[in-house]
Amino acid sequence: MLIFTEQELKQYVQLNNEAIAIVEAGFTKLTDNEAVMPPIMRVDLHDQNGEVDVKTAYVKGEDMFAIKVSSGFFNNYKLGLSSGNGLMLLISTQTGIPQAILLDNGYLTEVRTAAAGAIAANYLSRKNIETAGVIGAGSQARYQARALKLVRDFKRILVYSRSEDRSRKYAVDMSAELGVEVQVAESAEELVRNSDTVITTTPATEPVIKAEWLHPGLHITAMGSDAEHKQELEAEVLARADKLICDTKAQCARLGELHHALDKGILTNESHVIELGQLTSGKLSGRVNDEEITVCDLTGTGVQDTVIALFAYSELVKREIGLKVENKKLALKN
């Protein structure tokens, strides 16, 4: 067995166009029925404002698949800690024997989630945008801005979060990193009304975006709702959208923004909902004009975890990096 550390993974796996292409191919595999992905298992620790998810998927033809344990503890910022953490385990598809542990502390999840945001924006956002709006000021809010910059050449970011201090810190840091103007919005409404593309990255349990704020040409990527009790968008937002995209319809209907719209009867069925893999595979088109309002509901898939973990494994193994640990099981004797 090989063990890889966060520092090793960060050195050779970055959020870049290669990572985006790998995750995009994963979505295509999913829609082409070339992946087996069970429902997410989750443990909620509501009294600690935390959760732990287990996600996995087998991509047909691959030698290994990943099982990921991912945590989100949303009071961690008070301790100076990231809200996200976790690790990934790679298991042989031939023998079931564990092959590697990726002690990434949630880093690969940050990368693959941001990559999905970039893919959504590339297919659904207008080609020419001036202002990107980011709701939330945590780690994933930063990754999403970096990812968007890889596919759209925006000039300004508006940021809004519950903590003005965190928003201001975000503005200073991301302005320096991306070389764009970053302003703190006074409200979510101000941000939405003045942005071409909006990304929501919060663990909100009540909507932070209202349908009345939508305007022609707007694209929204909502990636914070990945549990039944979470919600970032009013259900009416989904009804107002000209195109509604999910990473997977089944998962979003259970955990994402889509499930609130279905439960409230705002949407009566999923027939017009598009899966992201239908766009990446070329089966359906994304944005077709500059006036459409588009919404993408991302809940995070096991396929993303497996493809990014396999990529990370290959990058480190070819450089002969990783701690090798003997992990042999004694054969039974007759």
What distance, in Å, lies between the first and last C-alpha atoms of the chain?
27
Least confident of 67-81, 166-180, 311-325: 67-81
**Is the confidence at residue 331, as pLDDT, over 60?**
no
* pLDDT for residue 333: 52
**Is the confidence at residue 33, as pLDDT, over 90?**
yes
Distance from C-alpha of 3 to C-alpha of 242, rounded to nearest angstrom: 46
* pLDDT 10s digits, 134-143: 999 999 999 9
Bridge partner list, 54 = 41, 69
* pLDDT for residue 194: 98
* pLDDT 10s digits, 252-292: 999 999 999 999 999 987 778 999 999 999 999 999 999 99
Least confident of 61-65, 241-245, 295-299, 324-328: 324-328
Q: Is the dihedral of CA 167, 172, 174, 179 positive or negative?
A: positive
The pairing of strands 35-36 and 41-45 is unpaired
- Please give the full DSSP string across 138-158, using - where no structure is assigned: SHHHHHHHHHHHHH---SEEE
Distance from C-alpha of 151 to C-alpha of 128, rounded to nearest angstrom: 10
Bridge partner list, 101 = 3, 89
Mean confidence (pLDDT) of the chain: 95
Q: 55, 116 in Cβ contact below 8 A?
A: no
* pLDDT 10s digits, 95-122: 999 999 999 999 999 999 999 999 999 9
**Is the confidence at residue 12, as pLDDT, over 80?**
yes
**Is the confidence at residue 334, as pLDDT, over 70?**
no
* pLDDT for residue 140: 94
**Higher pLDDT, residue 155 or 333:** 155
Residues ≥6 apart with Cβ < 8 Å to 334? none
* pLDDT for residue 151: 98
Instruction: Give the start-end residues of each E strand in 167-260.
Output: 181-184, 197-200, 219-222, 243-246
- Indicate whether this model's pTM tops 0.85: yes
**Is the confidence at residue 309, as pLDDT, over 90?**
yes
Q: 117, 199 in Cβ contact below 8 A?
A: yes
* pLDDT for residue 329: 67
**Is the confidence at residue 327, as pLDDT, over 80?**
no
**Is the confidence at residue 227, as pLDDT, over 90?**
no
Q: Which residue in 10, 29, 55, 68 is the catalytic one? A: 68
**Is the confidence at residue 330, as pLDDT, over 80?**
no
Check if 68 is active-site: yes
- Provide the token pair at 271: 């027939």
Distance from C-alpha of 143 to C-alpha of 89, rounded to nearest angstrom: 23
pLDDT average, residue stretch 198-214: 96
Distance from C-alpha of 61 to C-alpha of 189, rounded to nearest angstrom: 47
* pLDDT 10s digits, 35-51: 999 999 999 999 999 99
* pLDDT for residue 63: 97
* pLDDT for residue 90: 98
Q: 262, 271 in Cβ contact below 8 A?
A: no
Q: 221, 121 in Cβ contact below 8 A?
A: yes
